């Protein structure tokens, strides 16, 4: 059994659709440090949580990186989503609507932290579209698609998404070491 430390039921539901490995969602609040990279944030979170859980566990951190904003909000996406939301990001973005999402999974196996990453490029819409998903999903269209993540079912989103790619790499690793 592996503990996924998250209070976000949407993230947990996305992951459960990708694997048969027994995962347990655990809502264990942990400090989300302010750092310049997602890797630093996720690694700190995994170490903190393992000290409290004492069993293999992982955290996931992701960010939206907007070209027009020189990569902002990046590792600060959670805060920006809570304070400015999708509408705020759309007001800040200029004509350059290119962006990408990155996801980092930090898995503590009891001896060290392993990192798994996924990334997807795309563009930001001019208005919010779709009712599914969460966070910045209503304003992000992945490359090769015409719909936002919020217009897709979870299974479709997992085919394109940064989180789907990171979890696929993580699950492959777990299947090799188990």
Q: Which of 176, 178, 171, 87 is CA-nearest to residue 129?
A: 87
Which of the residues 20, 36, 61, 137 is marked catalytic? 61
Distances (CA, A) of 125 to 18, 67, 68, 78, 167: 27, 14, 13, 19, 26
CA angle in degrees (0–180, nearest 5) for 152-103-21:
80
Other Cβ atoms within 10 Å of 58 Cβ, number: 28
109 is catalytic: no
Print the SS3 string covering 91-120: HHCCCCCEEEEEEEEEEECCCCEEEEEEEE
Other Cβ atoms within 10 Å of 139 Cβ, number: 27
The catalytic residues are: 61
């Amino acid at each position: 059994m592996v503990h996924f430390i998250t209070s976000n039921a949407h993230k947990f539901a996305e992951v459960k659709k990708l694997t048969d490995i027994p995962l347990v969602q655990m809502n264990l609040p942990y400090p989300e440090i302010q750092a310049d990279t997602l890797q630093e944030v996720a690694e700190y979170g995994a170490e903190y949580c393992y000290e409290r859980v004492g069993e293999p566990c992982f955290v996931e951190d992701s960010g939206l990186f907007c070209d027009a904003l020189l990569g902002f909000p990046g590792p600060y996406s959670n805060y920006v989503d809570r304070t400015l939301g999708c509408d705020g990001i759309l007001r800040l973005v200029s004509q350059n609507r290119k962006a990408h999402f990155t996801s980092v999974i930090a898995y503590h196996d009891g001896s060290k932290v392993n990192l798994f990453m996924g990334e997807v490029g795309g563009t930001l819409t001019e208005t919010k579209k779709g009712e599914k998903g969460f966070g910045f999903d209503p304003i992000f269209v992945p490359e090769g698609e015409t719909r936002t993540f919020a217009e897709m079912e979870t299974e479709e989103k997992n085919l394109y998404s940064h989180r789907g790619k990171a979890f696929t790499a993580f699950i492959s690793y777990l299947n090799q070491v188990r």
